[in-house]
Amino acid sequence: MEAIYILEPGTYLRLSGETLRIMREKEVVKEIPVAGLERLTLLGRATMSGAVLDFLIEKGVDTVFLTQTGRFRARLLPDGKGHVRLRQLQYKRLFDEDFRLDTARLIVAKKIENQIAFLLKRSYKQREESVRVMCLRLNAMSKRLALADDIEAVRGIEGGASRIFYDAYGLLIKNSAFEFNGRNKHPPLDPVNALLSFVYTLFTNEVLSAIQASGLDPYLGALHEPLHGRPSLACDLVEEWRGLAESFVLTLINRKAVSVDDFIKTGKRERPIEMTPSLLKTLVHAHEKKMNSSIKKGASSLKLRWAIHERVRDFKRYLEKPDIGF
């Protein structure tokens, strides 16, 4: 067993022998064997006993706490001992402005490359000629990266490319019930952006787990500025996986697997739109299925979750030998 998601609001977790009991109002909702538990994600106001907390810490279970809307709140972290030299190397590289600039260029170049591939594939299927024209604009943005002489210039190119991408993305939405007028976040203001934000969070947590397993410091990256509480390296390395998240959301909308009735307008400034519990369940189960699906890597194939771990290991090798690229 790799991952468990606790989605029901107001639940309480207890440990009974080798079983995790999910309780609500003193009733057992579900029992889950803890053998092989690697990851636990809790949405909303789920709480736990001290015994459960001790177990999670002792076993090093990757435990993530999200708000009911999917925003990251906190994470239980293992000790992290034994990675001093690796982190010294990471700090040395990423405090070197030339290395950091080269790395940021590589990250954005890969992101734009994936955006173009995604849009070309989808526009071919949906016969959207205007989207293919936008791909030419994205390609022109990518070529400007070589001339970017500082991080802010790279971020400017990334931001410009993202605006073009989301303009094209809106043209690919064929479900008239869903309106998309560009990306917004913190908080998302409409159903499409709420879906994107939540699924991006799930993917970022996958990358963050892989970074922590590798021994790297997730809070120091290249493209994203270090900010209090933000895992900047995870934000960097998730960029190449965003296309999978965007494809996932687009498929849900166009196949009418979600409806506008799955969203609640709260009238609250800090959280204007929420997803229903049933939609959250649909999303996390579909995400877990996706993570356990196989993708091609060279001549072989491996689960998507382990492909993410492998890319983090590639980044470690890049820190050790920058000439090999990333």
CA distances from 323 to 102, 111, 126 (A): 11, 20, 40
What's residue 243's pLDDT?
92
310 is in an annotated binding site: no
CA distances from 141 to 118, 156, 310 (A): 16, 10, 28
Based on the number of CB atoms within 10 Å of its own CB, is 16 exposed (0-12), middle (13-18) or buried (19 or more)? Answer: exposed
Domain-terminating residue out of 76, 101, 136: 76
CA angle 318, 311, 100 (to 5 degrees): 40
CATH number at residue 122: 1.20.120.920
pLDDT more than 70, % of the chain: 96
Task: Verify that 265 and 302 share a domain, yes or no.
Answer: yes
CATH number at residue 26: 3.100.10.20
Query: Is pLDDT above 60 for 67?
Result: yes
Task: Verify that 61 and 115 share a domain, yes or no.
Answer: no
* Average pLDDT of the segment spanning 24-48: 84
Task: Verify that 162 and 27 share a domain, yes or no.
Answer: no
Task: Residue 251: name the closest of 281, 200, 288, 286 by CA.
Answer: 286
Query: Is pLDDT above 80 for 2?
Result: no
Distance CA 35, CA 250 (A): 36
Task: Verify that 117 and 55 share a domain, yes or no.
Answer: no
152 is in an annotated binding site: no
Tell whether 326 is covered by a domain. Answer: no
Task: Residue 326: name the closest of 115, 83, 99 by CA.
Answer: 99
Task: Verify that 198 and 315 share a domain, yes or no.
Answer: yes
What's residue 97's pLDDT?
96
Domain that holds residue 32: 3-76
* Average pLDDT of the segment spanning 18-31: 86
At 283-292, the pLDDT tens digits run 988 998 998 8
Task: Verify that 29 and 94 share a domain, yes or no.
Answer: no
Per residue, the 3-state secondary structure of 234-250, as one string, reads HHHHCHHHHHHHHHHHH
In the chain, DSSP assigns E strands to 3-6, 12-16, 19-24, 27-33, 39-43, 47-48, 62-66, 72-76, 263-265, 273-275, 294-297, 300-303
Task: Verify that 22 and 144 share a domain, yes or no.
Answer: no
Query: Is pLDDT above 90 for 255?
Result: yes
Domain-terminating residue out of 45, 76, 107: 76
CA distances from 313 to 54, 84, 207, 237, 319 (A): 30, 17, 11, 11, 10
What's residue 58's pLDDT?
85
- Quick one: pLDDT band at residue 79, thresholds 50, 70, 90? low
Domain-terminating residue out of 76, 101, 119: 76
Task: Verify that 113 and 43 share a domain, yes or no.
Answer: no
Work out how many domains the chain is built from and give that number. Answer: 2
* Average pLDDT of the segment spanning 57-79: 78
**Window from 67-71, 107-111, 152-156, 257-261 with minimum mean pLDDT:** 67-71
Distance CA 96, CA 106 (A): 15
Query: Is pLDDT above 90 for 70?
Result: no
Tell whether 269 is covered by a domain. Answer: yes
At 92-146, the pLDDT tens digits run 999 999 999 999 999 999 999 999 999 998 887 667 788 888 999 999 999 999 9
Say how many C-beta atoms besides its own lie within 10 A of residue 255's C-beta: 10
At 271-313, the pLDDT tens digits run 899 999 889 889 988 998 998 888 877 777 889 998 999 999 9
Tell whether 261 is covered by a domain. Answer: yes
* Average pLDDT of the segment spanning 214-232: 92
- Quick one: pLDDT band at residue 17, thresholds 50, 70, 90? confident
Q: Could you tell me if 113 and 135 are in contact, meaning their C-beta atoms sit under 8 angstroms apart?
A: no
Task: Verify that 126 and 31 share a domain, yes or no.
Answer: no
Query: Is pLDDT above 90 for 196?
Result: yes
Average pLDDT, the chain: 89
What's residue 129's pLDDT?
80
Task: Verify that 71 and 89 share a domain, yes or no.
Answer: no
Query: Is pLDDT above 90 for 158?
Result: yes
**Window from 4-8, 149-153, 321-325 with minimum mean pLDDT:** 4-8
DSSP state of 17: T
Task: Verify that 7 and 61 share a domain, yes or no.
Answer: yes
Strands 19-24 and 27-33: antiparallel
158 is in an annotated binding site: yes
Task: Verify that 194 and 60 share a domain, yes or no.
Answer: no
Tell whether 325 is covered by a domain. Answer: no
What do you get for the CA distance between the two ends of the chain, in Å? Answer: 31
Tell whether 265 is covered by a domain. Answer: yes
Distance CA 238, CA 245 (A): 10
Query: Is pLDDT above 70 for 208?
Result: yes
